[in-house]
Structure 1
Amino acid sequence: MSPRSVISSARRLVVKVGSSSLTGSDGDIDHDRLVSLADALARKHAEGTQVVLVSSGAIAAGLQPLGLSTRPRDLATQQAAASVGQGALLAAYTHAFGMHRITVGQVLLTADDVTRRSHYANARRTLERLLDLRVLPIVNENDTVATSEIRFGDNDRLAALVAHLIDADALVLLSDVDALYDGPPSRAGTSRIPLVRGPQDLAHVVIGGSGSKVGTGGMTTKVEAARIATAAGVTTAVTAADRVTEVLGGEDVGTIFLPMGVRGRSRRLWLEHATTARGRLIIDAGAVAALVHRKKSLLPAGITAVEGTFHDGDPVDVCSPDGVRIARGLVNYSSAELPSLLGRSTRELAADLGPEYEREVIHRDDLVVL
């Protein structure tokens, strides 16, 4: 099967659209663009494809009602704009898909939610059930409650992680640029890159762009999202929103990134790509070998130093004696509690402090080796 036919024949498909593709010159939501996107996805839905839409635009939709001309820089105002705009955006999608008798469901995610074991399973279960019921989920980051420390950072990365979460066949990233080019698209002589087989195909490509005045992404974030998705075995396409019908039909538009990994769900991809470390644990050489080679959990005996301020359940980086990051995981102790436990066995800690201390600092299920 050709890479483009993987997109057109996908049984389960994630499509991401950026704010710049949904807004007009005034920064407000352009309903004609939104309806055109909904029409294209509705056709795939009618063919039996399970479609998940990851949509930016909540903050953009809130700008005009709040009297703002550009995306706010401070987090509090972004959250206020998202609060105002999220309802308007969902109402527009509900109406547009309703014209095709398709029910939509809103799913708001935060990175903090879906990296914790029970929440990750719940997010996956919710999306699976919505798809089973022939509902079209509309996913966005929960900007109204996300903080600067617990954000996906952009919806391109969120879409890649959602594609992995639901074991999608393909991911399509839509923006205002029609493909990845071997140089700045505005420069004469640059050419579209139709196919990326692996990192070697991008070794000499200059990738830039920081997104529009209403968005946060650019081609850099799309290439990074493609790297995450293809590492999870998901074929990925990048093209312009106005070419959505063509790319979903398997036509030669945009850029296709071939999968490099094996499909299959694992929270560890989320731990690696959806979290920001709140601190660091420095470990000795023996603990490095236990984590990397023997696939063990991290115990207090192997930790030599604690850096940063964090709480039980927060993501932290695990570093070798020379400070090189080797893993990331969710810690079971706070930074205030942990220093007094260093270098001691769990059996000794349980005897001195009680059975609740006979636990790992980071359990293997909550640890990803980088």
Structure 2
Amino acid sequence: MRSFVEHAQRVVVKVGSSSLTTAAGGLDADRLEALVAAVRPLAGRRLVLVSSGAIAAGLAPLGLARRPRDLATLQAAASVGQSALVHQYAEAFRRSDHQVGQVLLTATDVIRRTHYRNARTALDRLLELGIVPIINENDAVATQEIRFGDNDRLAAIVSHLVSADLLVLLSDVDGVYDANPRLGPASLVRDVRSDADLDGLTVKGTGTAGVGTGGMATKIDAARMAASGGVTTIVTSAALAAAALAGEEVGTVFHPTGPRRASRLLWLQYATAPQGRLHLDAGAVAAVVGRRASLLPAGLTAVDGDFSAGDPVDLVDPSGRPVARGLVAFDAAELPTMLGRGTAELAADLGPSYEREVVHRDDLVLLQPTR
């Protein structure tokens, strides 16, 4: 038995669309009831459920045979399906005298300081009140530029947002294999303690129902994201959810590989698309990477891209290799006149608001070199 499951006081469980819906797109009531039965024992502790399925649940009511490709129809399906999904959860949990609360998040809610604090406070209060938050991305309003990309990544971020002890990623595959088990012989990877344990894996694709956006690759990325911030993660199937949450040795365990970090910094590192590039001289690289210092205008040599203050940008060394990612404090149009200049000089010429960092160290993460 896995003692870390038994001792976990805050648990985030993520379930994918393929585990909740039929291939035709409707909600499968029996599957949803089985999932709730599996996670219900955790509701007495602190349980957060990150659930896909809103878009899939909205297909049949809208008369759609398959997941649409255009954004407007995706948003319409999400709007219709989300209410049906949460209603089903509310009814299933009500039978055991537990209440649920719907929480719809966008990327802005975890990357902006004030939004991040508000989201954390709201979730903490729901858990204190004994409510089970049902979390999904706000697909009805999210655009490609401001979305998490998939609910596996969202679950990893949420696990840090609520200071979870355990993250469980459920799909229609019972763990991580060294090859596709549907195509031939494959061995289950039971434990991942470093990236070396993932060498040679070839995984991709959506679930078997064809209604989700993720696959095993996204679950591995999400598990690595959570584990890098100190959260133990289990990847297994929805059919084995009860066994996994009872501490049985099923699925693949991603053991923590780093200390806990702020959720928005994990999001910044793993899930953002940089809107531009800041070119640094060698001294600035040494300061940012070696001393974990903020980036000052004096260390800039060039700027690429069209971005606004607050957008994520890559910091690159003189050879063009990204070494860090951060939230830039100035618009792209402002930076060319600041290249290589000291903050005191800029303040004298342009005003006191320019006597500050281009990227503050609290809004910056170092990027790991590609393996």
- 1:266–1:183 distance in 2 versus 1, CA, 3 Å: closer
Residue pairs, 1:21-40, within 5 angstroms: 21-40=19-38
Q: Percent identity?
A: 61
One of 268, 271, 288 as aligned partner of 1:271: 268
Q: Corresponding residue for 1:79?
A: 75
Partner of residue 284, structure 1 = 281
Query: Residues 62 and 103 of structure 1: is their aligned pair in 2 closer, same or farther, counting only changes over 3 Å?
Result: same
Q: Tell me how far apart the structure 1 counterparts of residues 261 and 357 of structure 2 sit (CA, whole Å).
A: 26
- Does the alignment pair 1:326 with 2:318? no
Q: Which residue does 2:363 correspond to in 1?
A: 366
Partner of 1:314: 311
2:110–2:263 CA contact under 8 A, matched in 1? no
- Give distance in 1, aligned partners of 2:63 and 2:206: 24
| 1:46-105: CA deviation from partner (whole Å, max 9, x where unpaired) | xx3211000001111111121111111122221121111111111111111111111111
1:67 aligns to 2:63 (yes or no): yes
| Distance in 1 separating the partners of 2:15 and 2:263 | 25
Letter in 2 for 1:64: A
1:186 counterpart = 2:146: no
SS in 2 for 1:158: helix
RMSD of aligned C-alpha atoms? 1.5
Q: Which runs of 4+ in 1 moved over 6 A?
A: none
Instruction: Report if aligned partners of 2:157, 2:263 keep a CA contact under 8 Å in 1.
Output: no
Q: Does 1:14 align with 2:12?
A: yes
Whole-Å Cα distance in 1 between the matches of residues 190 and 365 of structure 2? 33
CA distance in 2, matches of 1:189, 1:329: 43
Which structure 2 segments of 5+ residues have no match?
Answer: none
2:146 match: secondary structure: coil
| DSSP 3-state at the match of 1:336 | helix
Secondary structure, in 3 states, of the residue corresponding to 2:42? Answer: helix
Distance 1:275 1:111 in 2: 9
- 1:115/1:274 contact within 8 Å kept: no
Deviation at 1:188, TM superposition (A): 4.0
Cα offset, 1:287, TM superposition = 1.0
Instruction: Show the 5 A alignment for 1:201-350.
Output: 201-211=197-207, 212-265=209-262, 267-350=264-347
Gaps (5+ residues) in structure 1?
Answer: none
Match of 1:162 in 2: 158
Amino acid in structure 1 at the alignment position of 2:31: R
If the length of structure 2 is used for normalisation, what is the TM-score? 0.94
Give the 3-state SS of the residue equivalent to 1:310 in structure 2: coil
Q: Equivalents in 1 of 2:96, 2:261: separation in Å?
A: 32
Letter in 1 for 2:164: A
Q: Which residue of 2 aligns with 1:133?
A: 129
1:122–1:59 Cα change, 3 Å: same
SS of residue paired to 1:208: coil
Q: How many residues align?
A: 366
One-letter code of the match for 1:6?
F
**1:293, 1:303 → 2: CA distance?**
17
Cα pair distance change 1:44/1:260, threshold 3 Å: same
Q: Does the 8 A contact of 1:112 with 1:275 survive in 2?
A: no
Q: What is the CA–CA distance in structure 2 between the aligned matches of 1:225 and 1:291, rounded to whole Å? A: 26
- For the residue of structure 2 that corresponds to 1:120, the secondary structure is helix
- How many angstroms apart in 1 are the aligned matches of 2:344 and 2:261? 36
Q: 1:150 aligned to 2:146?
A: yes
- Counterpart residue number, 2:91: 95
CA distance in 1, matches of 2:158, 2:142: 17
Structure 1 distance, partners of 2:176, 2:264, is 29
TM-score (norm 1): 0.95
Q: 2-side partners of 1:259 and 1:178: how far apart? A: 20
